[in-house]
Amino acid sequence: MARIEKRAVVKQKPLIGTLPFKKINYQILGAGILSIILGYVALSQDPWNGTMPLVVAPILLVLGYCVLIPIGILYHKNKKSEELTHPTEISPENSH
């Protein structure tokens, strides 16, 4: 007869008090908000049929709403890439 092994299911507890966003997320979100504010400022310029309200303002608003804000929310740096960018160095004195 085959023996049936029961494995204990370990549930991960959510960490209380930790924020899901890192510093880079807040920087990207800040750039998105700044782009949106500049877009509305450009939209309010006179004359209403000038280059700023008709060309620059829509570009800044789309950049803020459709590019920067979603990237700021969804961006997540992988742990593997962090390990590759910060390798541990072995000093010559400790290698004996």
61 Cα distance to chain centroid: 19
Phi, psi (5° rounding) for residue 8?
A: -75, 130
Phi, psi (5° rounding) for residue 57?
A: -60, -50
**pLDDT (mean) for 72-82:** 80
CA distances to 18, 50, 54, 83 from 46, rounded to whole Å, are 46, 7, 11, 52
Domain-located, residue 82: no
Domain-located, residue 7: no
Mean pLDDT of the chain: 83
pLDDT score recorded for residue 7:
72
Domain-located, residue 58: yes
Of residues 50 and 14, which shows the higher confidence score?
Answer: 50
Counting the structural domains of the chain, the total is 1
pLDDT bin (cut points 50, 70, 90) of residue 46 is: very high
Please give the residue range of the domain that contains residue 52: 23-76
Contact 38, 81 (CB under 8 A): no
Q: What is the pTM of this model?
A: 0.65
E strands, the chain, in order: none
